[in-house]
Amino acid sequence: MSNEEPPPLAPSQQPQPPQTHMPSTSAQPPSPSMSLHDAATSAAAAQEGTRPPQPAQDSRTASASASADGKGEEYETHQKRHAEEDDDDQGQWHCTPPSGPYRSAGVLGRRCKAVSSLKFSGNGQLLAAASADTTITIWDPIKRTQVRELKGGHTHGVSDVAWARDSSYLATGSDDKTIRIWDTETGQEMGKMQGHTGYVFCVAFNPQGSLLASGSEDENVKLWDLRTGGCLKTLEAHAEPVTGVDFNGEGTCLVSGSYDGLVRLWDAGMGQCLKTMFAEGSPAVGCVKWAPNGEYVLVSSLDSMIRLWGMRSPSRVVKTYQGHRNERLCMSAAFVYLQGQGKHRHKQQQQQQQQQQQQQQQQQQQQFVVSGSEDGKVYLWDVRTGRFVQALGGHKAAVLSLAVHPSRGVLASGGTSGDGVIRLWCTKEEAQEVLMEQNGGCGGGREGGGVEMELDSLN
């Protein structure tokens, strides 16, 4: 692997699209030994050339969610067991002593089954949580209140959720093989998209809000026209279930990842495959995410390793991140870009020119990769060095989903069925800022305080 340090991941002023490179037709990687549903049955199915059997519930969480299916009494016991220890978490922002940038900010809410996906809206005012219990809940993460619940649409577990750029509506993909569009103001279903023949595992809007990409157990990626609700293209993308899709910041390229171990780059307009990448051993891919600058793709695999792929030809892995455990579940991974500025930053602005060089150095030091883990923790690494930074403990089971606030120092994490909890994490400065807002802004701005995150901007 190259020892090259990736440059800052903030969006560049003139991002360059990856160079076109057609997939090689030489050596083909072997199929991974695990499927999206069950590791043991998948290995046997792959050898026999058949598709793994479909589970009855929540395909993203496999056996982890099965333990909670149809066991309301067990969930009630779980709630009672943790009610006392989490009483002080509800409705309060506080910080526990950390050894890194983030602190626990308590529990936001609970579901009776796995929290399969978490996403902050583009403006950061709302947090959507998809669950294996067929519901989607929308939260105000700062006030720590549930705004509304979207239900009555999907008939099976919801695997993924995605916000439109203007935060006025969102899309959900489900094990009922449908994609649904929701009005976030009214909570009403706006439309339903059908066409996949397998569970829908992942959905993503393009930055312009005109296209929706979806990946499915049927091994295909579909591109949908949001104006008509019709399918524009079906990409026969992979040989096993598609577990992740993501558009770059310009919306010109789409990346897909699959349990076949392949990561593929697509021309979003033409639907042509531009690149095919795979790591040694072709480990199953659970998550793919473009870097904000469009030059890298973060790939989380079921070999307990996260790889940062450089998109400039020839594509190669430029950094790896390990230490977490990920061998059987498709877990979220993301970029965090902490900038040493807060919301109240008039004093910092006065010193901006004098401290520009120091701020740039600080920005470079505060770029992280974050991921869930099957040991119930959230892990952070330094993007440039690959150095482990922090592990956040609190979940009682595997951390399946993660969300990074687009403008504030806040993370959200969701657990599998043995946990079902949505937890919040924040920087010390962010907790102080939120408390200030809740107190009506008393105290004015903070000198040199606050931490604001700059992530993938769609503007």
Sign of the Cα torsion 25, 29, 35, 36 reads negative
Predicted confidence (pLDDT) per residue in 157-174, tens digit:
999 999 999 999 999 999
Q: 18 with 268: CB under 8 angstroms?
A: no
Q: 421 with 351: CB under 8 angstroms?
A: no
Ramachandran category for residue 74: left, alpha or beta (phi over 0 → left; psi -120 to 50 → alpha):
alpha
Q: In a 10 Å sphere around its CB, with 0-12 CB exposed, 13-18 middle and 19+ buried, how is residue 240 labelled? A: buried
User: What percent of the chain has a predicted confidence (pLDDT) above 90?
Assistant: 61
DSSP assignment of 37-79: S-HHHHHHHHHHT-PPPPPSS-TTTHHHHHTTTT-HHHHHHHH
Sign of the Cα torsion 98, 452, 18, 272 reads positive
Preceding omega of 314 cis (within 30 degrees of 0): yes
Across the range 215-238, mean pLDDT stands at 96
Give pLDDT, residue 339.
Answer: 67
What is the overall mean pLDDT for the chain?
Answer: 77
Give the separation between CA 308 and CA 254, rounded to whole angstroms: 16
SS3 319: strand
Q: 378 with 101: CB under 8 angstroms?
A: no
Predicted confidence (pLDDT) per residue in 375-415, tens digit:
999 999 999 999 999 999 999 999 999 999 998 889 999 99
Higher pLDDT, 50 or 261: 261
Give pLDDT, residue 93.
Answer: 44
Predicted confidence (pLDDT) per residue in 54-93, tens digit:
333 444 444 333 333 322 333 233 333 333 334 334 444 4
Using CA atoms, how far residue 132 sits from 111, 240, 290, in Å, is 9, 22, 26
Locate tokens 């066409």: which residue?
A: 195
Q: 107 with 89: CB under 8 angstroms?
A: yes
Give the separation between CA 130 and CA 394, rounded to whole angstroms: 20
Q: What is the CA radius of gyration of the chain?
A: 21
Cross-strand partners of 74: none
Q: Which of these ranges, 232-241, 320-329, 377-386, 439-448, has the smallest mean pLDDT?
A: 439-448
Q: Which of these ranges, 211-215, 304-308, 363-367, 382-386, has the smallest mean pLDDT?
A: 363-367
Q: Based on DSSP, count helices (H) and strands (E) in the chain, helices before strands.
A: 6, 29
Locate tokens 């939120």: which residue?
A: 434
Across the range 245-255, mean pLDDT stands at 97
Cross-strand partners of 231: 224
| Pair of tokens at residue 364 | 């470079």
* Number of Cβ within a 10 Å radius of residue 29: 17
What is the edge-to-edge ordering of all strands in the sheet holding 305-310? Answer: 285-290, 296-301, 305-310, 316-322
Give the separation between CA 322 and CA 150, rounded to whole angstroms: 36
Give pLDDT, residue 100.
Answer: 87
**What's at 379, amino acid-wise?**
Y
Q: 186 with 156: CB under 8 angstroms?
A: no
DSSP state of 419: T
pLDDT reading at 23 higher than 60: no
Q: Which of these ranges, 98-107, 128-137, 161-170, 284-293, has the smallest mean pLDDT?
A: 98-107
